[in-house]
Amino acid sequence: MTEQNTGDTQTGFPADPTGFTKAKNARRKRETSTTLNINSLLDILTILLVFLLVSISSDPLNVQQNSKLRLPKMSHGCGVECIQEKGVKQAGECKAENQVVVCRDAYRPPEDTVPITITKSAILLDNKEVKTSNGTILELVCMLEGKQCQEKDIQDKFTCGQLDEEAGTKDQQLQAAGCTRSKVRRLAKMEFSFSATDKGGDKGKFLILPLQKELESKKNEIEERLKRDAQTKGGKARKWKPMATIIADGDIPFRPIAEVIYTAGMAKLHDLRFATIQRSTR
Amino acid sequence: MARKPSERSHSRKAQGGDLNLAPIMSILVILIPMLIFVFQFYQIAVQQVAAPKMGMNKPKETKDKDDKPKLNLTVMISNSGFKIKEQQAAGNPDVDIKRRDVEICNLHDSSKNTPQSCGSNKGDNRRTIKNEYDYARLYGVVSQKKALHGDSKENETINIAPDFDVPWKVVVRTIDAVSVKLTTGETWTKDFKTFDTFRQAAPLMLEQKIPNEPAETEKRPAALFPRITFVVAQ
């Protein structure tokens, strides 16, 4: 109280008879104590987090596109579905008379499928590299004009292909990106093949031995898992129709893909699908 | 007599227990960009195919239930274009569809890529694709053959026989061109005058039964040749 009457001892100023300093200090205190309310921001971020986690975890294929894997585009997909009475459980395989082909704008990939990814450099089974009997990685060999493809060639093929497919790309833009006619023609000569050693020494064969081995073990693994799940739940094991989904780069020629399809068939994965990116135009 | 505690001091104590949200925010700020990076901003669709037949089928007379000759079409894809074979054809010659230069509407906003908004004059909105596969004519030929034979279950299959050096994206676009009926109006169209109208044509949507719930219906694209079989020449 004495300080108020005699003035501020620290600054040496006389006491403010109007009480102006007091009001100013109070205002300053109010201003500094105000904090940003982040509750609503936190709500938005939590909803976004849940949405992203659900979207990512519900995707059975989980495809990541890059210069070595650019999926072809398609406006819709078709597949066989089984018509059955509501509430009637399907026993065994769907009878031919109950099968109906259904086309949809985006035919979603089924669960419990074996994803086989064919990139410009390797083949992946369930996003893991396939090992050969020597312990090396099963590779798709890329050759360009008698030499092994360089990283730059693959990157150029990706850039030019992407620009060419994009809506609104002008010829000048293609030229500016270095995608000249001669370069595109040169890159179109890229050849992709599996080595003869992976096909039992004969390059003309279709069966890729390391892939067949891995596919069979993957198929057994899924069947074992379904049996285990059924045992823990105390029911009968769910009937699984062995199916594979082929996720192949659009620039790869048909030959290696036909070899993978044939190998999948030999590993008794007869139900085949291939993945594409859905778009509105053809 | 005990004094009632002032409301101001009491409420201040309660406020002192506020949860510190800053660490949670920090985690979210790191986690969300990471998940957005992994997230796919495109939709993956699948197409079912039958396991390949090795070697070309020998032409044989196959008939459907109504004793009509079964349509057994094969689309061969080579570097020069398409060849459509009707295997047991009653004298129908094979149809060759050569690659050609096509002009497409090329607006940035693809929803405005209609022949009307693009205009007919050559200009900035149009781009010529050199030596393109003529998917529009392929659709025209196979849809006319389908219209002649009818929509029976036996006529749902088409054989695709690509050469080994044909890129996979060409095979996929071929399947896309022959699997559903397209329309520019109310009925399905069997011929497209320009490549652009084919590109922009919507699938014919029909009310169809929902598998697993036959009592209910939904609008789905009408199938043209939805069953795809690869034919591989050994």
Residues B144-186 have pLDDT tens digits of 888 888 877 778 889 999 999 999 999 999 998 998 888 887 7
Q: Is the pLDDT of residue B52 over 80?
A: no
- Who's near A131: CB < 8 A, 6+ residues apart? A137, A138, A210, A214
Q: What is the mean pLDDT of residues A73-88?
A: 70
User: Is the Cβ pair B212, A83 closer than 8 Å?
Assistant: yes
User: What pLDDT score does A34 carry?
Assistant: 65
Mean pLDDT of B73-95: 84
Task: Return d(Cα B109, Cα B118) in angstroms, integer.
Answer: 11
- Which of A90, A104, A192, A282 would you mutate first to test chain B, the one with the most B CBs within 10 A? A282
Q: Report yes or no: B174 at the A interface, CB cutoff 8 Å.
A: no
Are residues B180 and A74, on separate chains, in Cβ contact within 8 Å? no
pLDDT at A5 (0 to 100) = 46
Average pLDDT over chain A, rounded to whole? 80
Q: Considering only A13-17, A167-171, B34-38, B93-97, which range has the smallest mean pLDDT?
A: A13-17
| A-B Cβ pairs (cutoff 8 Å, strict) | 234
- Angle at the Cα of B99 from the Cα atoms of B95 and B105, rounded to 5 degrees: 120
B127-143 pLDDT, tens digit per residue, is: 788 888 999 999 999 99
Phi/psi of residue A100, nearest 5 degrees = -135, 140
Our CA angle for A246, A251, A256, nearest 5°, is 55
Domain ranges across chain B? 73-100+134-230
Whether the predicted pLDDT of A62 surpasses 60: yes
Distance, CA of A54 to CA of A52 (rounded, Å): 6
Residue B160 touches partner A, C-beta closer than 8 Å: no
pLDDT score recorded for residue B4: 66
d(CA A135, CA B141): 50
Type of residue found at A209: L
Taking CA–CA distances from A59, the nearest residue in chain B reads B44
pLDDT, residue B160, reads 92
- Secondary structure, 3-state, chain A: CHHHHHCCCCCCCCCCCCCHHHHHHHHHHHHHHCCCCCHHHHHHHHHHHHHHHHHHHCCCCCCCCECCECCCEECCEEEEEECCCCCCCCCCCCCHHHEEEEEECCCCCCCCCEEEEECCCEEEECCEECECCCCCECECEEEECCEECCHHHHHHHHHHHHHHHCCCCCHHHHHHCCCCHHHHHHHCCCEEECCHHHHCCCCCCCCCHHHHHHHHHHHHHHHHHHHHHHHHHCCCCCCCCCEEEEEECCCCEHHHHHHHHHHHHHCCCCEEEEEEEECCCC
Residue A8 has pLDDT above 50, yes or no: no
Entry pTM: 0.79
Mean pLDDT, range B186-204, rounded to an integer:
82
Average predicted confidence (pLDDT) for chain B: 78
Give CA angle at A241 (A240, A242), nearest 5°. Answer: 105
Cβ–Cβ below 8 Å for B47 and A77? yes
> A-chain residues within 8 Å CB-CB of B113?
167, 281
Q: Give the tens place of pLDDT for each residue, A173-182.
A: 777 778 888 8
Over the stretch A246-270, which tens digit does the pLDDT of each residue have?
999 999 999 999 999 989 988 988 8
Contact map slice: A 85-124 vs B, CB within 8 A = 85-86, 100-110
pLDDT for A163 beyond 50 = yes
CB interface of A with B, residues 209-238, below 8 Å: none
**Cβ atoms within 10 A of the Cβ of A267, count?**
21
Contact criterion met (CB < 8 Å) for B167 and A169: no
Determine the Cα–Cα distance for residues A138 and A122; give it in Å rounded to an integer: 6
Higher pLDDT, A280 or B226: B226
Interface mutation vs chain B, best among A103, A166, A270, most B CBs within 10 Å: A103
Q: pLDDT above 90 covers what percent of chain B?
A: 19
Partner-chain residue, chosen from A81, A253, A273, that has the shortest CB–CB distance to B47: A273
The predicted structure's pLDDT at residue B16? 57
Higher-confidence residue: B106 or A85? B106
Answer positive or negative: Cα dihedral of B103, B107, B112, B117: negative
More confident residue, A77 or A114: A114
Please provide residue B163's backbone torsions phi and psi, each rounded to the nearest 5 degrees: -65, 155
* CB pair distance less than 8 Å for A72 and B168: yes
Question: Are residues A59 and B40 in contact, defined by beta-carbon separation less than 8 angstroms?
Answer: yes
Nearest CB partner across the interface for B106, out of A45, A63, A168: A168
Q: How far apart are CA A195 and CA A203, in angstroms?
A: 7
* Partners of B158 in the β-ladder: B73, B228
Nearest to B135 by CA among B183, B94, B185, B171: B171
Please check the confidence at residue A154 and state whether its pLDDT lies above 70: yes
Closest CA to A118 of A164, A169, A72: A72
CA distance A255 to chain B (A): 4
pLDDT of residue A2: 41
pLDDT of residue A257: 93
* Mutation target among B12, B24, B46, B111 for the A interface, most CBs of A within 10 A: B46
A49-68 average pLDDT score: 81
- Give mean pLDDT, residues B208-228: 80
Question: What's the pLDDT score for residue A88?
Answer: 53
Check if A205 contacts B (Cβ < 8 Å).
no
d(CA A77, CA B179): 8
What's phi and psi for B148, nearest 5 deg? Answer: -70, -35
Give a three-class secondary structure readout of chain B.
CCCCCCHHHHHHHHHCCCCCCHHHHHHHHHHHHHHHHHCCCCCEEEEEEEEEEECCCCCCCCECCCCCECCCEEEEEECCEEEEEECCCCCCCCEEEECEEEEEECCCCHHHCCHHHHCCCCCCCEEEEEEECCHHHHHHHHHHHHHHHCCCHHHCEEEEEECCCCEHHHHHHHHHHHHECEECCCCECCCCCCHHHHHHCEECEEEEEECCEEEEEEEEECECCCEEEEEECC
What residues of chain B, 21 to 60, have a C-beta less than 8 Å from chain A? 21, 24-25, 28-29, 31-32, 35-36, 38-40, 42-52, 54
Q: What pLDDT, on a 0 to 100 scale, did the predictor assign at position A235?
A: 73
Q: Say if the Cβ atoms of A262 and B36 lie within 8 Å.
A: no
**Spatial CB neighbours of A90, under 8 Å, sequence gap ≥ 6:** A82, A84, A239
Pairwise CB contact (< 8 Å): A282 & B175: no
Give the confidence band of B46 by pLDDT, cuts at 50, 70, 90.
confident
Rg (CA), chain B: 29
